[in-house]
Amino acid sequence: MRGMAKRMPPEVLAYLRTMGKAYGKLGGKTAAKNMTAAERTARAKKASMAAAKQRTAERLAQTRAAKRA
């Protein structure tokens, strides 16, 4: 039964939302504390490459749209 979503009780969803709001932002800082310098560098490079790829895709889309107009 892959692909079928399971329903959670509303009180469970509410609890998970409150936990996410309270502690969700701590994840990155805690993860960075527990990583070595090489791991942090690798993570930063991966994020930088993803951002560059997105910027390039947006720029190319604008160029294509300008050529059509």
pLDDT at residue number 52:
98
Contacts of 40 (CB under 8 A, 6+ apart): 32
Distances (CA, A) of 60 to 24, 57, 69: 34, 5, 14
Q: Is residue 21 one of the residues assigned to a domain?
A: yes
Would you say residue 1 lies in a domain?
Answer: no
4-56: pLDDT as tens digits: 677 889 999 999 999 988 888 788 888 889 999 999 999 999 999 999 999 99
Number of domains composing the chain: 1
- Please tell me the pTM assigned to this model: 0.55
Q: Is residue 20 part of a domain?
A: yes
Range of the domain at 49: 10-68
**pLDDT score at 3:** 64
Q: Is the pLDDT of residue 1 over 60?
A: no
26 versus 3: the higher-pLDDT residue is: 26
